[in-house]
Amino acid sequence: MDVLRLRWNGTELVDITGAPEIPLYVADSFFLEDGKVVGYQRHLERFTTSTQRQGLVRSVDPFLEKVTTALPREGKWFPRIDLTERGELEVWIRPAPPLKQSLVLSTSATDPRQEPTIKGPDIPALNEIRAQAQNQGADDAVILDSRGRIVDGSTTCLVWVEGHRVVIPPMEALRVDSITVSILKDILQTQGIAIEEGWATPADIEGCELYALNALHGIRSALSWVNGPTLRVNHERLNVWRNFYAGQTEKLPVTS
């Protein structure tokens, strides 16, 4: 199955595959395998909250119910739900790309985000800096603030292990509230470990373990950072975290 794009007309989802793309106010995506997703309700809740923040006054619940019904129950998929600048609600049902357990990072020369706390509007700009990173032999770009501190990745949220501490950039760094990070927090909490918030420059995490989290790949280990710090790779921790994360998958809810 190729990419399928459906638009909500207030009653049903209509196939508009091939229609011109429209700039986004909100987007949310997740990995779907054989009808199971990690944190599905959290993704729907974040999407709902973001649409409200962007000024949408009507309920998105009927749309999301139809989306849940339309999602495939077999195969590997990477769906995305959207609110466009014209107020249209859409879902893209896309085959999932190959998944990875590790990646290489590089530093973005700029922070192109205009709405850093909402997923969607900045996707084209973030794709551009990721493409620039790929031209340098990396997989993803790291965004730094004006003081050179780590904020976010172009498609990932970054978490590092410093001694016995698991650290993430603070929310004041202005980034999307990651569903994958929230799942990891829950997992670590059961082990008596808290994720701390803290600032760090790339040089500050020299010799540390660095992990990149997103809804597609889950938890990946950063193997290296182009022209950046030397990173430590802990395969045992990566496997433990990934196994715990995979154990959080839930079947899509049954809809009427």
What pLDDT, in 10s, does the model give residues 235-250? 999 999 999 999 999 9
Q: Report yes or no: 94 and 3 within 8 Å, Cβ to Cβ.
A: yes
Q: Any alpha helices (H) in 91-220, and if so which ranges?
A: 123-135, 179-189
Q: What is the mean pLDDT of the chain?
A: 97
Domains of the chain, start order: 4-93 (3.30.470.10), 102-246 (3.20.10.10)
Q: How buried is 248 (Cβ within 10 angstroms: 0-12 exposed, 13-18 middle, 19+ buried)?
A: middle
At residue 114, the pLDDT reads 97
How do 76-77 and 32-33 pair as beta strands? antiparallel
Beta strands 157-162 and 150-153 are unpaired
pLDDT number for residue 174: 93
Burial zone of 119 (CB within 10 Å; 0-12 exposed, 13-18 middle, 19+ buried): buried
- pLDDT-derived band at 1, boundaries 50, 70, 90: low
Average pLDDT, integer, range 198-219 = 98
Percent of the chain with pLDDT over 90: 96
**Residue 118, token pair as written in the block:** 């909402």
Q: What is the pLDDT of residue 93?
A: 98
Round to whole Å and give the CA distance between 197 and 159.
10
Grade residue 254 by pLDDT with cuts at 50, 70 and 90.
confident
pLDDT value for 115: 97
Confidence (pLDDT) at 122: 98
For residue 23, what pLDDT is reported? 97
In this structure, what are the phi and psi dihedrals at residue 146, rounded to the nearest 5 degrees?
Answer: -65, -15
66-88 pLDDT, tens digit per residue, is 999 999 999 999 999 999 999 99
**pLDDT higher than threshold 90 for residue 255:** no
Residue 256 is predicted with a pLDDT of: 66
| pTM of structure | 0.96
pLDDT in the model for residue 2: 87
Taking residues 25-33, what's their average pLDDT?
Answer: 98
pLDDT tens readout for residues 46-60: 999 999 999 999 999
